[in-house]
Amino acid sequence: MYGELRFVDLLHALKVAWKKRVLIFVISIFCFLIGVFLTLNHPVKNVYSARTTVYSATYGSYQQSLAGTNAMIDYADIVSSKKVCQRAASILDAVELTGDEIQAMISADFNSNSYIMNIYANSTDPILAQKVANAVAQAFVIEMNGITGGESIQLLDEAEHYYLSYNGTKKLIIKRLLFGFFGFIVSVAFIVISQLLSGKLKTIEQCISLSDGKLLGMIPYIEKGRGKTN
């Protein structure tokens, strides 16, 4: 009989948790404040990205244009090579960046439908991201034309804009909210489990199940102006 009442017990436990919602709210806020304290000194880093594009020019013969496009596809990894990044560092003579630092900021992808290569630079400084993207694109064009022995690889669009690619502020807020959510889950789970494991009788049906099936009587009592049965 008790096994059949487990769903009823769960409902009762949830009702008890609802009655203690103020306590649960206070615990959640307290855990949120703990999260704020623990992440108080965490630096907020917003990462910005800038994009520039290069392409294979279609002037000259078809064979020359095709050769330039194939070379750009085959040597796409050169964009992030140390040689290209070191050349980009020399182009950025007013910016103190090493080739290794630029190499860590660069990524690229190739659009086979339009034969355009996108070069991305990522930095916490949006203006620096633009400068690095343009310098790497220029360095890549120089390097590729040196490999192919022509001038088929050209700069298409410079990085004139930047966009937010990683919102550090949003991530920090989410991390702090997770502390509060953890406090909410733990407090609710503790209340519900403690009620389910409690040996106290919660329903009249449990009284019957513990006897010979006969209920002798019920004692009424008044709580907060309302009559209830105990």
Pair 93, 48: CB distance under 8 Å: no
Q: What is the pLDDT of residue 94?
A: 72
Q: Which residue, 154, 126, 139, is CA-closest to 93?
A: 139
The full set of domain ranges for the chain reads 3-41+169-229, 47-165
CA pair distance 112, 55, nearest whole angstrom: 11
* pLDDT computed for residue 2 by the predictor: 46
The secondary structure of 121-162, three-state, reads EEECCHHHHHHHHHHHHHHHHHHHHHHHCCCCEEEEECCCCE
H-helix or E-strand containing 222?
strand 220-223
Per-residue model confidence (pLDDT) at position 177: 95
CA-wise closest residue to 118 among 67, 80, 145 = 80
Alpha-carbon gap, residue 141 to 148, rounded angstroms: 11
Its pTM stands at: 0.62
Q: What is the mean pLDDT of each run of 10 residues along the chain (230 residues)?
A: 60 88 94 92 87 75 57 72 88 82 87 76 92 92 78 82 89 93 94 81 56 55 52
CATH number among 3.40.630.30, 3.40.50.1370, 3.40.50.300, 3.30.1890.10, domain 47-165: 3.30.1890.10
**Percent helix, strand and coil across the chain, each to the nearest 5:** 55, 20, 25
